[in-house]
Structure 1
Amino acid sequence: MDLTFYLQTFDHFIIYLAVSLVLFAIGTYIFKLVTPYSERAEIKNGNTAVSLKLLGKMAGLVVVLQSAIRHSINLVDLAIWALIAIVIQIVLHLVIEYVLTRNTNLAKEVEKGNIAVGLLLGGVSVLVGMIVAATISY
């Protein structure tokens, strides 16, 4: 095992980690912008449904970022793929949440604490993230 190789590439690890964490924060922030209620306040008040939904969104985002990291050829490529994937994931989530369930306001159900709906939407975010992640390749 050549320890010098790892020491020489450690800076790349740190840079990719920092950029990925920033992209994660940006994606999470954008998700919070499209949510019609304060997730922070709801979670602080003990709303498990909101917590499950947010956790699913974040997990789906991590899956997408992981794929972007694996398939990128440099930092610019990583940022471009990650931002495209974040936007696609948000759009698909909104389509699923609002268009396919026209007769039920799922956001209101989650805000009211409906754990089943929160878990479903969080799970859908993970599944959509997996599909989006699988499409990031060369």
Structure 2
Amino acid sequence: MKDMIFDNFQDCVNESLIRHKSILDVLTKYSESTALVNRSIAKAVTNCGCIKINASKQHLPDQNSSIENLNNYIHTHLAGEPCDNCREIIEKEIGNNIFYLTSLCNNLNINLYDVFIKEYSKLSTLGKFNLR
């Protein structure tokens, strides 16, 4: 069932994309949508203030610590939650980003669900050893 949702979404994107069908258009629109996701988060910090970024150097434990404890030392540097307005804007921009990612998959004849399943399989197999 879930693969049908991905496939239906991919078909819907294919039918919706008319003006920007060229791979060059899709690549640049995808890059632009990524920048707009970043911008919407930055505006939640600088204009609204609903979230704050308190960044500093990540302090890792000594070599004797196990990899399982690593999450206790690594931080997101975020404080707060997006307000309803900022969340709506961020979700809209992420949606646009997914649209252009799907369009990129369509142009390259790549099934988005297959990519998702391969990535999930790799993550679930390697677990914490899939450090990124």
TM-score with structure 2 length normalisation? 0.32
Looking at secondary structure, tell me which structure has more strand per residue: 2
Higher helix share: 1
